[in-house]
Structure 1
Amino acid sequence: MKDSILEAPAMNFIPNVRSGSYAEIGPRVSMDDEHICIDDLGEHLGFVFKYPIPSAFYAIFDGHGGPDAAAFVKRNAMRLFFEDVNMLQSYDSDALFLKKLEDSHRRAFLRADIALADEQTVSSSCGTTALTALVLGRHLLIANAGDCRAVLCKRGVAVELSNDHRPTYLPERKRVEELGGLINDGYLDGYLSVTRALGDWDLKFPLGAASPLIAEPDVQLVTLTEADEFVIIGCDGIWDVMSSQVAVSLVRRGLRRHDDPQQCARELVKEALRLNTSDNLTVIVICLSPVESIVESSPPQRRRFKACSLSEEARNRLKSLIEGN
Structure 2
Amino acid sequence: MGAEAEVMVQLQHTIPVLDVPCCSDLDVKSPESTILQFIPSIRSGSFADTGPRRFMEDEHIRIDDLSAHLGSLMKFPKPSAFYGIFDGHGGPEAAAHVRKNVLGLLFSDTNFPETSEVDDAFLEGVESSLRKGFLLADLALADDCNVSNSSGTTALTALVLGRLLMVANAGDCRAVLCRNGEAIDMSQDHRPNYPSERRRVEELGGFIDDGYLNGILSVTRALGDWDMKLPRGSASPLIAEPEFRQIVLTEEDEFLIIACDGIWDVLSSQQAVSLVRRGLRRHDDPEQCAKDLVMEALRLNTFDNLTVIVVCFTSPDHQELSPMRHRRLRSCSFSAEALYSLQSWLDNKGSH
Q: Shorter chain as normaliser: what TM range?
A: 0.7 to 0.9
| Deviation sequence 1:34-93 (CA, Å, 0-9, x none) | 000011111110127778711111000000000000000011111111116974541322
Aligned partner of 2:312 in structure 1 is 287
Does the CA-based 8 Å contact 1:255-1:291 persist in structure 2?
A: no
| Deviation sequence 1:165-206 (CA, Å, 0-9, x none) | 000111111111111101100000111000000000111111
**Alignment RMSD (CA, Å):** 2.0
1:91 corresponds, among 68, 91, 116, to: 116
Aligned partner of 1:109 in structure 2 is 134
| Deviation sequence 1:101-135 (CA, Å, 0-9, x none) | 11111111001001111111001110000000111
Aligned partner of 2:19 in structure 1 is 2
Deviation at 1:6, TM superposition (A): 6.2
Aligned partner of 2:192 in structure 1 is 167
Q: How many equivalent residue pairs?
A: 298
Deviation at 1:290, TM superposition (A): 2.2
Measure the CA separation in 1 of the matches of 2:130 and 2:77.
23
Measure the CA separation in 1 of the matches of 2:256 and 2:139.
30
Aligned partner of 2:348 in structure 1 is none
Q: TM-score, normalization: structure 1?
A: 0.87
Higher deviation after alignment, 274-283 or 7-16 = 7-16
Does the CA-based 8 Å contact 2:67-2:76 persist in structure 1?
A: no
Seen in structure 2, the aligned counterparts of structure 1 residues 190 and 46 have a Cα distance that, compared at 3 Å, is: same
Q: TM-score, normalization: structure 2?
A: 0.81
Does the CA-based 8 Å contact 1:48-1:89 persist in structure 2?
A: no
Does the CA-based 8 Å contact 1:147-1:236 persist in structure 2?
A: yes
1:191-270 to structure 2, matched below 5 A, reads 191-270=216-295
Measure the CA separation in 1 of the matches of 2:208 and 2:41.
44
Moved segments of 4+, more than 3 Å = 3-9, 48-52, 84-89, 291-298
Aligned partner of 2:106 in structure 1 is 81
Counterpart code for 2:269? S
Q: 2:161 aligned with 1:136, yes or no?
A: yes
Measure the CA separation in 1 of the matches of 2:273 and 2:243.
22
Measure the CA separation in 2 of the matches of 1:28 and 1:163.
25
Does the CA-based 8 Å contact 2:110-2:132 persist in structure 1?
A: no
Aligned partner of 1:66 in structure 2 is 91
Q: 2:182 aligned with 1:157, yes or no?
A: yes
Does the CA-based 8 Å contact 2:279-2:285 persist in structure 1?
A: yes
Q: 2:26 aligned with 1:26, yes or no?
A: no
Measure the CA separation in 2 of the matches of 1:40 and 1:85.
20
1:39-58 to structure 2, matched below 5 A, reads 39-47=64-72, 53-58=78-83
**Which segments of 5 or more consecutive residues in structure 1 lack a partner in the other structure?**
299-325
**Which segments of 5 or more consecutive residues in structure 2 lack a partner in the other structure?**
1-17, 324-352
Partner secondary structure for residue 68 of structure 2: helix
Partner secondary structure for residue 210 of structure 1: coil
Measure the CA separation in 1 of the matches of 2:73 and 2:229.
40
Does the CA-based 8 Å contact 2:113-2:125 persist in structure 1?
A: no
